Amino acid sequence: MAGLTVTVAGAHVEPAGEWRLEWLDRRRGIARLSDGQHSLLALVEGSGSEWFVTLHGRRTPVAVMSWRERTLAEARAAAAGEGGPVEIRATLPGLVVAIKVEAGAQVAAGDALLTIEAMKMQNEVRAPRDGTVGQIAVEAGQPVAAGVLLLRLE
C-alpha cells in the first residue's frame, strides 16, 4: 500500500504523522485519533480512492490515490477542462421557480442558471464552468424529482 498520495480540495496533503489512529468500530468506520495529549473521534467512509472523513462534525472529502489512479484522474480533469458537455441535474426534489438563462446564452462558471425551491428554501443552480447553454429540459413552475435533467451546458 506504499506510494499513496492524499489530496484535499485539490491540494496535496501530508498525513499528520505525530498522531495515531485506533479503530473502535471498523464496520462503521469509527476510529479514535490521538496524539497522547488530545483525542477525537473520526468517522471514516468511502472506498477505492474516494474517502470522506468527519471530524468535529465536519465532513471532508479526501482523495487517497495510488500513482496509477492519480494519472487517470489528471487525464479526466484535463478532458473536462476542454469542456465536454455537462448535464445539470436536480439534487433534491423540488419546484422550478425561475429559469435565469436562455438556450445559446454564454455563461461563466458560477452564473445562476435557474432557481429551485426545495425543502422550504430557494436554491440557485449555478454553472460549474464557463460554457454555452444547450437544451433547457424544464420550465418554471414545474416540479422535479431528484436526478432529473435540468439543463445542458455545451
CA dist 33 → 98, 132, 152 (Å): 47, 47, 44
The yes or no reply on residue 139 touching other proteins (CB under 8 A) is: no
Nearer to other proteins, 39 or 71 (CB): 39
- 10 Å Cβ neighbour count for 14? 7
Return contacts of 69-78, CB within 8 angstroms, 24+ apart.
70/5, 73/49
* CB neighbourhood size of 86 (10 A): 16
Min dist. Cβ of residue 146 to other proteins (A): 6
**Contacts of other proteins in 72-101 (CB under 8 A):** 91-93
- The C-alpha atoms of residue 84 and residue 49 are separated, in whole angstroms, by 24
Q: Which stretch binds other proteins (CB under 8 A): 6-14, 73-81, 104-112, 125-133?
A: 6-14
Report the candidate in 87, 81, 88, 72 with the shortest Cα–Cα distance to residue 130: 81
| 33 versus 112: smaller Cβ distance to other proteins | 33
Residue with cell 423540488: 94
16 binds other proteins (CB under 8 A): yes
22 lies in the binding site for other proteins (CB under 8 A): yes
Binding flag, residue 29, other proteins (CB under 8 A): yes
Of 37-56, which residues contact other proteins (CB under 8 A)? 37-49, 51, 53-56
Cell of 90: 436536480
Q: 35 vs 154, which CB is nearer to other proteins?
A: 35
* C-beta of 50 vs 154, nearer to other proteins: 50
Q: Binding of other proteins at residue 10 (CB under 8 A)?
A: no
Query: Minimum distance from CB of 150 to other proteins (Å)?
Result: 15
